[in-house]
Amino acid sequence: MTTQRNTPVQGDPQRRRWPAHGLRRKNSRRLTHVLTALALTAVAAVLAPTAASAHPATQHRTLSNDCVLGTHTQTFYSYDQWSKGDARLCASLLGRADGTYTLQATFIGDFYYYWGAAWYSEDKCIFGCHLSGAFYLQRPSGPEDIGPIGTTLQGRHGTATYTFEGLTSGHYRLRAGVTKEGGYWRNQGQADSSRIGINTLKIDFDIP
């Protein structure tokens, strides 16, 4: 007696059918996985820090980030006026969630040398060209806070910044004392003709 096998018809392949009890187990496992995923998502939402706790809310209050309310540009010279610098001082406040403020002080300077009958940019001010000095913050009470300045000039341009923390209500004075070294005349063996002292930049402001 020949056993006849069912041959799948082309275009209508046989499908594997799950037994009824196996289908129930499969659905049960799927439901378990879904419930587990939902539970883990809920726990993660509870444990994850909120944006406010991960990054304390801050409100940026600008005194000056483009020097409009900082000092106007002032020009300073070497002792013999063979070098000069156009410099200014800027300040900006960042209010923090705890009610205090952070002050960012910025010094900006552009430097030139005199030769013949004209001023030229210190574009090749590379070797030995740097700024040194400090920012000074006078708080409503107590001694001045000091923030050091030390940076290398990039051609004629120099910038230095420092951040003071923990400011509260009251009157403040920010000032900068800076010395520029190096440049064309130093390269010619006359270092004093390249040295410029900058010490009259200041900003007065109040925090309510």
**165 and 84 fall within a common domain:** yes
**197 and 107 fall within a common domain:** yes
Please report the pLDDT score of residue 45 as a whole number: 39
**139 and 36 fall within a common domain:** no
In a domain, 76, yes or no: yes
Dihedral sign, CA of 63, 204, 75, 120? negative
Range of the domain at 30: 18-48
In a domain, 157, yes or no: yes
Please report the pLDDT score of residue 94 as a whole number: 86
Tokens standing for residue 58? 């801050």
Strand partners, 201: 176
pLDDT tens digits for 151-193? 988 789 999 999 999 999 999 999 999 999 999 999 889 999 9
In a domain, 12, yes or no: no
Please report the pLDDT score of residue 6 as a whole number: 39
More confident residue, 159 or 17: 159
Q: What gap in Å lies between CA 81 and CA 90, rounded to an integer?
A: 26
3-state secondary structure of 53: helix
**41 and 100 fall within a common domain:** no
**176 and 87 fall within a common domain:** yes
79's CB contacts (< 8 A; 6+ apart) are 192, 193, 195
Residue 137 and residue 177 in contact, taking contact as beta carbons nearer than 8 Å: no
In a domain, 149, yes or no: yes
**23 and 97 fall within a common domain:** no
In a domain, 1, yes or no: no
In a domain, 167, yes or no: yes
pLDDT tens digits for 133-162? 999 999 999 999 999 999 988 789 999 999
Q: What gap in Å lies between CA 103 and CA 138, rounded to an integer?
A: 12
**168 and 84 fall within a common domain:** yes
In a domain, 2, yes or no: no
**101 and 175 fall within a common domain:** yes
**22 and 63 fall within a common domain:** no
The CATH number of residue 184's host domain is: 2.60.40
In a domain, 31, yes or no: yes
Please provide the average confidence, as pLDDT, over all residues in the chain.
75
Domain count within the chain: 2
pLDDT tens digits for 61-100? 445 445 544 677 899 999 999 999 999 999 888 888 898 9
Please report the pLDDT score of residue 50 as a whole number: 36
**34 and 76 fall within a common domain:** no
Strands in the chain per DSSP E: 59-61, 74-77, 83-95, 101-115, 118-121, 130-138, 145-152, 157-167, 170-181, 196-207
DSSP, residue by residue, 22-46: HHHHHHHHHHHHHHHHHHHHHHHHH
- Given the structure tokens 């410099």, which residue do they identify? 87
**24 and 74 fall within a common domain:** no
Distances (CA, A) of 74 to 87, 111, 142, 153, 195: 5, 12, 29, 18, 16
Distances (CA, A) of 178 to 25, 83, 89: 79, 15, 11
Residue 107 and residue 89 in contact, taking contact as beta carbons nearer than 8 Å: yes
**33 and 101 fall within a common domain:** no
pLDDT, mean of residues 97-114: 93
Strand partners, 111: 85
Res 38 pLDDT > 60: no
Other CB atoms closer than 10 Å to residue 70's CB: what's the count? 23
